[in-house]
Amino acid sequence: MGEIVHTSRIRIVREKGPTRKAMIEGFDQPVYYGIHGGIKRFYRIEPEQEHAATLDHIVAATAA
């Protein structure tokens, strides 16, 4: 096994409803996750504020 070059340290807290806040070590500002568009229509939920879903971040990371 090779040398470990990085360990992600992230704390995720549910704010309200589908909104979650991720505090990522090394960054001052949190990253917010939630629902929007077709996802909120599918679950029939209207969030107070729309945020990118975790799925959006996974797709973006894969496409990079």
Flag whether the pTM goes above 0.75: yes
What is the residue whose two structure tokens read 């996974």? 58
Q: Is 36 helix (H, G, I), strand (E, B) or coil?
A: coil
Per-residue pLDDT of the chain (64 residues; tens, 9 = 90+): 899 999 999 999 999 999 999 999 999 999 999 999 999 999 999 999 999 999 999 999 998 6
Is residue 4 situated within a structural domain?
no
Among 10, 13, 14, smallest CA distance to 25 is for 10
Is residue 25 situated within a structural domain?
yes
| DSSP bridge pairs for 19 | 16
Structural domain tally of the chain? 1
Is residue 3 situated within a structural domain?
no
Contact, 50 vs 34, CB < 8 A? yes
Is residue 22 situated within a structural domain?
yes
Contact, 39 vs 23, CB < 8 A? no
* Domain encompassing residue 49: 10-63
Distance CA 44, CA 47 (A): 10
